[in-house]
Structure 1
């Protein structure tokens, strides 16, 4: 969500000192607010409040202070970077939060409460295990497809086996966006299957608006005759990725081959490149 908003606001903000994909606010609070809104912040602060309130029951020892210090370092780090996006930081935080937790929840005693609680916990653990197994299987398929595709990622370099693996991963919710990202790199800008290509690239652009996907979106929109949308997409791409030389060359080639669809976009692209250059010069 953060990277998508940053990409869309590029032409409006016109920050020439920033280029590329900014997919994280580098601040846990702001990032959570961007991703989950007020509900996410309430969940975070409520959980932390309950955890901190439970600490009143303990008498801190040297081990406690060491744990608090380590969590404090992670908290400070999370306000200027994003360590908790990496499992080797997240695992440390989770273990320390659990080890230092003093809330002492327990199930209400009553007839059948222990049995019901154990069954419920067993169902949760079984579901989590099934999700992990599916995730591992999907990851192995994705890894196999990418390592067998070749480095270039151009159309025609993917084997039928790799295409089948990507299609299988696409049906698995947790990694489907990554499979589509790989599939979008194989798109050729032409009229064949244009509707499906545009739909796929649009989803990938919303997932991660990287340079190749952003410029390809403009080309596909121009191919489909949506000139205004194509111009907006190209302008957004220029302000995030101003050094798109290969994409400009591709547009020139397409305009020469199919001027009806691409000549107007090429003229617009040249105009916006000049505007960007003037903005850089004036700052």
Structure 2
């Protein structure tokens, strides 16, 4: 995973590949690196430095080390007590843990780190004195808090809608469908930026591979694949591309899916059914899939 993070950093050294894009990049690198010991969805390099370098590049690393440098510089005026050393030790444990895992991606670790960094911070901050500075500062802080409150209210509302849609799925009694109420709830969540990708993930599970509304289906599944390239979405992308006549892109998508999810038996059966039903669109992809399965099996045997 560190090697993959380095490749991502080398490809976009200044700003990185973008936050939340590690799993998508890992998915794309599968056929190139051909590692049979890594299968499934990986969204983290298991190293804070490599992760930040991959997703945020030099800019992210500079922000991290500059902030850390300011924090450490403020400690020079401190006479450490036992409480200080306890805090430093706890932060040290989190730092070491972050070099081989990803604890700071979990709130119960991140909150501890934030509290300790704040409690031990000795940097002095002072508001610039001047006419109206205190009033302006209070107004600015009030605006920030109000905005944060509005965001939290919107997030809670969207989460409740998403939860209701997911728990209400299957009311219609048909596989791969949702009730009209759940469909409306997912559509409402999709208009809310913070959870829209999760709504689209649920909507993509309802996609049937056929020519009806193909352009919209392909656009939706492509966005979901970029958000989280899970097994069902990855193989569905190849099938939709084949249905759309994009055979080369479909073959690439299937190859990427095989190297991340080599046990896609149900998806292969679906492809066989589609090839029998519509050979003009799916026969070539089935032949390619069988070839790539053999290549993967040989790679496993040779390692």
TM-score normalised to the size of structure 1? Answer: 0.97
1:33 is displaced (CA, Å) by 1.3
Q: Deviations over 1:128-181 (max 9, x none)?
A: 111111111111111111122159998543111111111111111111111111
Counterpart of 1:153? 173
Shift in alpha-carbon separation, 1:153–1:245, aligned structure 2, 3 A:
farther
Shift in alpha-carbon separation, 1:273–1:91, aligned structure 2, 3 A:
same
Q: What SS does the corresponding residue of 2:169 show, helix, strand or coil?
A: coil
Q: State the aligned residue count.
A: 283
Unaligned runs of 5+ in 2: 1-20
1:64 is displaced (CA, Å) by 0.9
Q: Distance in 1 between matches of 2:38 and 2:176?
A: 34
Q: Deviations over 1:242-261 (max 9, x none)?
A: 10000000000000111110
1:86 is displaced (CA, Å) by 0.9
Does the 8 Å contact 2:71/2:121 carry over to 1?
Answer: yes
Pick from 102, 115, 120: which aligns with 2:135? 115
> 5 Å matches for 1:66-77?
66-77=86-97
Does the 8 Å contact 1:154/1:185 carry over to 2?
Answer: no
Q: Deviations over 1:230-281 (max 9, x none)?
A: 0000001001111000000000000011111000100110011111111111
Shift in alpha-carbon separation, 1:192–1:209, aligned structure 2, 3 A:
same
Q: Does 1:32 align with 2:61?
A: no
Does the 8 Å contact 1:27/1:81 carry over to 2?
Answer: yes
Q: Distance in 2 between matches of 1:36 and 1:130?
A: 28
Shift in alpha-carbon separation, 1:5–1:89, aligned structure 2, 3 A:
same
Does the 8 Å contact 2:170/2:178 carry over to 1?
Answer: yes
Q: Distance in 2 between matches of 1:93 and 1:129?
A: 23
Does the 8 Å contact 2:171/2:178 carry over to 1?
Answer: no
Does the 8 Å contact 1:2/1:23 carry over to 2?
Answer: yes
Does the 8 Å contact 1:2/1:35 carry over to 2?
Answer: yes
Pick from 82, 85, 90: which aligns with 2:110? 90
Relative to structure 2, which stretch is displaced further, 5-14 or 143-152?
A: 143-152
Pick from 223, 236, 247: which aligns with 1:216? 236
Q: CA RMSD in A?
A: 1.6
Shift in alpha-carbon separation, 1:153–1:145, aligned structure 2, 3 A:
farther
Unaligned runs of 5+ in 1: none
Does the 8 Å contact 2:75/2:122 carry over to 1?
Answer: yes
Does the 8 Å contact 1:215/1:233 carry over to 2?
Answer: yes
Q: Distance in 2 between matches of 1:239 and 1:262?
A: 20
TM-score normalised to the size of structure 2? Answer: 0.91
1:124 is displaced (CA, Å) by 0.9
Relative to structure 2, which stretch is displaced further, 156-165 or 42-51?
A: 156-165
Q: Distance in 2 between matches of 1:32 and 1:84?
A: 12
Relative to structure 2, which stretch is displaced further, 46-55 or 216-225?
A: 46-55
